[in-house]
């Protein structure tokens, strides 16, 4: 099996429910200016709130920085008040969508089956799905981490997922927004396990698929985290709201 497959890292900013027109546009323009002046050894993605997606996609047109949504509905259209279809995100300029974030799984009670249905809708709309998995602190303390990850990967990732249309993000729930980055051996173990689980369903395609780490990634821990085997980038929450921090994380990617 191709253990040494080179995967270009992806640094994705998840703004969550932060940003209005003025500060959001200012932030991406500053990232775009940095990117126009300097190469980075990674792909860059910004996932703003849905209200800013069209304006930010337009502001980034012509730049190599992609945009993405933070969730989508499994349906294509219809009477679903407040929901947003994958093709609507695409229509607003998105290339990616984050699915199954722990704030959706735990905050909104989303199941693996729902996340898989949303992922299928995203792929059908031509979006790249970033499917998040991760254990809670109680699950880690109970020795359940690897079992939880296996279950989530098997039940959330659609069978037609490929390295071209899908990215996995490992986000231990206890490390998100807490300032508590998982320790390198914990991250390495989880990523290797996720890739082994993906191989069971997808075969060699799993070796080409990017697996991001997310959970309190910041400039101080980015280099060490991004250098780990099977870590192919980061999903960055809080630090993505700070242009200098986001840029420093992008620059911390290992050169291919």
Q: Name the residues annotated as catalytic.
A: 101, 171
Tokens of 113: 């089956």
Tell me which residue of 74, 101, 99 sits closest to 87, measured CA to CA.
74
Distance CA 131, CA 168 (A): 5
Instruction: Write the DSSP symbol of residue 146.
Output: H
Residue 235 CB, nearest distance to ligand PGA (Å)? 4
Tell me which residue of 146, 251, 238 sits closest to 194, measured CA to CA.
146
Q: Are 209 and 196 in contact (CB under 8 A)?
A: no
Residue 43 CB, nearest distance to ligand PGA (Å)? 17
Instruction: Write the DSSP symbol of residue 17.
Output: S
Residue 128 CB, nearest distance to ligand PGA (Å)? 16
How many residues belong to the chain? 256
Distance CA 179, CA 202 (A): 34
φ/ψ (deg, to 5) at 177? 70, 10
Residue 197 CB, nearest distance to ligand PGA (Å)? 21
List of E strands, 53-194: 66-69, 96-99, 128-133, 166-170
DSSP reduced 3-state for 186: helix
Site for ligand PGA, rule CB under 6 A: 14, 171, 176-177, 214-217, 235-239
Residue 239 CB, nearest distance to ligand PGA (Å)? 6
């Amino acid at each position: 099996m191709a253990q040494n497959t080179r995967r270009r890292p992806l640094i994705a900013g998840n703004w969550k429910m932060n940003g209005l027109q003025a500060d959001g546009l200012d932030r991406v323009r500053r990232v775009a200016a940095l990117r126009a002046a300097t190469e980075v050894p990674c792909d860059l993605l910004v996932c703003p709130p849905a209200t800013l997606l069209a304006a930010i996609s337009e502001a980034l047109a012509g730049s190599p920085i992609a945009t993405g949504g933070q969730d989508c509905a499994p349906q294509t259209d219809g009477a679903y008040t407040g929901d947003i279809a994958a093709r609507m995100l695409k229509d607003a300029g998105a290339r990616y969508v984050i699915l199954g974030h722990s704030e959706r799984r735990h905050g909104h009670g989303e199941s693996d089956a729902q996340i898989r249905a949303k992922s299928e809708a995203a792929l059908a709309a031509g979006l790249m799905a970033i499917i998040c998995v991760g254990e809670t602190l109680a699950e880690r303390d109970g020795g359940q981490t690897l079992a939880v990850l296996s279950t989530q990967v098997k039940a959330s990732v659609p069978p037609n997922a490929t390295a071209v249309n899908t990215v996995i993000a490992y986000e231990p729930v206890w490390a998100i927004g807490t300032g508590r980055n998982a320790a390198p051996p914990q991250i390495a173990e989880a990523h290797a396990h996720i890739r082994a689980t993906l191989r069971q369903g997808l075969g060699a395609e799993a070796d080409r698929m990017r697996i991001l780490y997310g959970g309190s990634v910041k400039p101080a821990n980015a280099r060490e985290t991004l250098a780990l085997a099977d870590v192919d980038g980061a999903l960055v929450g809080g630090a993505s709201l700070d242009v200098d921090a986001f840029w420093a994380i992008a620059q911390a990617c290992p050169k291919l």
